[in-house]
Amino acid sequence: MTDTPRRIPTGSASLAGLVSAAVALAAAEVVGAVLSRPTATPVQAVGAGVIDLVPLPLKQFAVDLFGTADKVALLTGIGVLLACAAALIGAAASRRPVLGAAGAALFAGAGLTAALSRPDAVPLDALPTAAGTVVFAGVLTWSIRTLRGGRTAPGAAGGPDRRRFVLLAGAATAAAAGVGAGARLLSAGISGGGLTPATVRLPAPADRAAPLPEGVDLEIDGLAPYFTPGSDFYRIDTALSVPRIDASTWSLRIHGLGVRWELVLAYDDLLRHADLCERDITLTCVSNPVGGGYLGNARWLGVPLASLLAEAGVRSPDEGGPADQLVSRSEDGMTIGTPVADVTDGRDALLAVGMNGRPLSHEHGFPVRMVVPGLYGYVSACKWIVDVELTTFASFDAYWVPRGWAERGPIRTQSRVDTPRDGASPERGRIAVAGVAWAQGTGVDRVEVSVDDGSWTEAELAPEGSTDTWRQWVLEWEAEPGEHTITVRATDRAGRVQTPDRAAPAPAGATGHHRITVTVV
């Protein structure tokens, strides 16, 4: 018999690392839930840090590749990396304990840096990672000691002790997954109390949206409906876990340069506001590629920002006001910069509380978000808004600007073919070619279609709902067998024809014509 510690097989040691990490992450989730700081847990915080740090081309690549499932992809990626690192640390720690300690310190460093550098971080946010680290070190030390099982006779590798360990490890991992998921649910439950989308009752506005003309929705198969149902409405944001705000404790402060009377508004102040109104507005994302789906049309209920700015005594730049930028901040620390001139020029810029007849959903910004007709979402549509500061473009860069997007983002005129789909094989004969076109602000005046790069033929336009919404169009086409291209372009009411020049979404929105190919059979 010798006292030299027995060598642990690499597989068992790696497994010990994996189990320790799983139990540690579950512990961190529990602490995050108990503290009501679910975004401060290591995985969430590191994920959010990655989202903030990745350069624009990589972000665009991720969005192109994964679409709006980009966050699931990111979390999966972090999970895989974490698992590999944990296995390595386990294997290393079984040979040299100091390596295990170094690994744990690395985990702790990454988690703490990420959690404490969130824009809304508080010192308490160190606790989930701290707890996780202690648990990780404890479980790993215990596992390695068990695996080493000093009393087992030589030659008993893979004997009862090790088998018991594998079983125990499996059980511990399953328990950790259950506890972690439970903690997540608990977080959602805790912060989902009070006034939620399910319990809010919206008042009917005195100022309703203008009645829609007959036929605004052509109701053609495969064509995007005039109003986008909430479930189909695209979602673009940096929030790894959707903020769940209690509207009964929510407030919004309006302050800053040139504000004479600072305002602090409660949710109820907005619901009872005399200017509460309903407007139809098509929201559009700057990262929408030509032909893409990152836009949707909704009926919004909200209070005009211009009314609130007037109550605060803010003068627009053309009236000599000192602030040219309105910076909105969200609960999760997002900053969005909007030209003051654009929200005071008479357009229907809203602090919205309702979408398509319902309170906003958590995903779309509950309890309150901004919506400004004619501006891409990244410069206007702040969700989970809690603060509005009047400032200047010269003195403050909002979130997206240092990440390579233009400081100002007016929506570019675009048009899209919805049906037939690109690559479809419709049957010969009469085919309805249909889609949507948008030129928020002026409205769409004309849509033209070119088949096989022939002359432009004017499509039939559905009646206009509002100049701030998209407009449907249709062209009956006598389709002959063979392969054909279909290209579309729109002209706005100021007479500007949509440019054929192709530009990528970054930095100021994609341009170029949407062109599809079909094979008529």
Ligand X SMILES: Nc1nc2c(c(=O)[nH]1)N[C@H]1C(S)=C(S)[C@@H](COP(=O)(O)O)O[C@H]1N2
Binding site for Mo ion (CB under 5 A): 236, 285, 377-378
Angstrom distance (rounded) from CA 16 to CA 19 = 5
CB of 278 to Mo ion, least distance (A): 24
At residue 187, the 3 state secondary structure works out as helix
Indicate whether 281 belongs to the interface with ligand X (CB under 6 A).
no
Closest separation in Å from C-beta 482 to ligand X:
39
Pairing of strands 358-359, 369-371: unpaired
Q: Which one, 165 or 378, has the nearer CB to Mo ion? A: 378
Q: Which is nearer to Mo ion, 63 or 216 (CB)?
A: 63
Stretch that binds ligand X, among 195-203, 327-335, 386-394, 492-500 (CB under 6 A): 327-335
CB 21 within 8 A of CB 152: no
- Taking the C-alpha atoms of residue 108 and residue 310, their distance in angstroms, rounded to an integer, is 49
Stretch that binds ligand X, among 38-46, 304-312, 328-336, 505-513 (CB under 6 A): 328-336
For residues 18 and 281, which CB has a smaller minimum distance to ligand X in the complex?
A: 281
Residue whose beta carbon is closest to ligand X: 377
Pairing mode of beta strands 335-339, 325-330: antiparallel
Which residues in the 211-240 window bind ligand X by CB under 6 A?
Answer: 233-239
234 binds, among ligand X, Mo ion, none (CB under 5 to 8 A by kind): ligand X
Q: 284 with 410: CB under 8 angstroms?
A: no
Q: Could you say whether residue 33 binds ligand X (CB under 6 A)? A: no
Give how many residues touch ligand X by CB under 6 A.
19
Q: Could you say whether residue 330 binds ligand X (CB under 6 A)?
A: yes
Report the distance separating Cα 125 and Cα 79, nearest Å.
21
Task: Give the residues across from 162 on adjacent strands.
Answer: none
Helices and strands, number each (H, E), in the chain = 10, 18
Q: Does residue 378 belong to the site contacting ligand X (CB under 6 A)?
A: yes
Separation between Cα atoms, residue 378 and residue 398, nearest integer Å: 10
Q: What's the min distance (Å) between Cβ of 365 and Mo ion? A: 13
Residue 179 interacts, among Mo ion, ligand X, none and using kind-specific CB cut-offs from 5 to 8 Å, with: none
Is omega for the bond preceding 367 within 30 degrees of 0, making it cis?
yes
Task: Note whether 396 and 339 are within 8 A (CB).
Answer: no
Closer residue to Mo ion in complex, CB, 104/236: 236
Q: Which residues contact 34 (CB under 8 A, 6 or more apart)?
A: none
Contacts of ligand X in 332-361 (CB under 6 A): 332, 334
Chain residues that interact with ligand X, rule: CB under 6 A: 233-239, 283, 285, 330, 332, 334, 364, 377-378, 381-384
